[in-house]
């Protein structure tokens, strides 16, 4: 069987049709990512560049027709557990038309531990550990990512959050 030249493939109606369909699909994905960018940077305020980058990656990976649910981050979420007030880097929300009021907070906290701001003193470590214990004793799952871990593999960190959220989702 003789091969077909690249020029003949590119000129074919079949290739032209699929090329146009692929470009249309890619254009929709880019638009989805622009919407994700808008949500990430205009809805919440962030305490660090690390948090802003995490939100951007999170929303970019939550877009498109292949995502069967809608998850949202609440930056600087304030929660009270065991009579103590805590501020989380992020809490995760699930939205679905079948849920009461269309949304439910999942008991999932995400903490981003950049070297510049975390664990600089013993009291910071103690407070973080107490917070984590309080949250976990009240049914929360707490996921910590080091800044270097996120920088090395942002998509892997987001996949880990989505896997944890999938387990905790209200069905």
Contact 140, 118 (CB under 8 A): no
DSSP 5: P
The H or E element spanning position 109 is strand 103-113
Q: State whether the Cα torsion 126-113-39-93 is positive or negative.
A: negative
Q: Give the pLDDT score at 98.
A: 65
Of the candidates 113, 118, 111, 93, the residue with the CA atom closest to the CA atom of residue 103: 93
| Per-residue tokens: 156 | 């892997």
Q: Structure pTM?
A: 0.72
Q: Give the pLDDT score at 148.
A: 92
Domains by residue range for the chain, with CATH: 27-168 (3.40.960.10)
Contact 155, 61 (CB under 8 A): yes
Q: Give the pLDDT score at 119.
A: 60
pLDDT band at 1 (very low <50, low <70, confident <90, very high): very low
Mean pLDDT for 108-114 is: 91
For residue range 38-79, what is the model confidence (pLDDT) as tens digits? 665 665 677 888 888 898 888 878 765 555 557 888 899 999
| Per-residue tokens: 14 | 């079949």
* Region for 102 from its dihedrals, namely left if φ exceeds 0, alpha if ψ lies in -120 to 50, beta otherwise: left
């Amino acid at each position: 069987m003789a091969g077909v030249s690249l020029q003949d493939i590119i000129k074919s109606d079949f290739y032209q049709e699929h090329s146009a369909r692929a470009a249309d699909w890619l254009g929709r994905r880019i638009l989805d990512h622009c919407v994700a960018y808008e949500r990430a940077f205009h809805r919440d305020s962030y305490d660090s560049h690390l948090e802003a980058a995490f939100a951007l990656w999170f929303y970019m990976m939550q877009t498109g027709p292949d995502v069967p649910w809608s998850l949202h981050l609440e930056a600087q979420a304030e929660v009270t557990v065991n009579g103590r007030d805590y501020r989380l880097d992020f809490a995760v929300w699930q939205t679905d038309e079948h849920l009461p009021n269309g949304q439910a907070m999942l008991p999932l906290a995400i903490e981003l531990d950049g070297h510049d701001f975390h664990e600089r003193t013993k009291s910071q470590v103690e407070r973080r550990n107490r917070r984590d214990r309080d949250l976990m004793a009240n049914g929360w799952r707490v996921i910590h990512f080091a800044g270097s871990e996120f920088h090395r593999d942002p998509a892997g960190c987001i996949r880990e959050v989505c896997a944890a959220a999938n387990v905790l989702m209200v069905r």
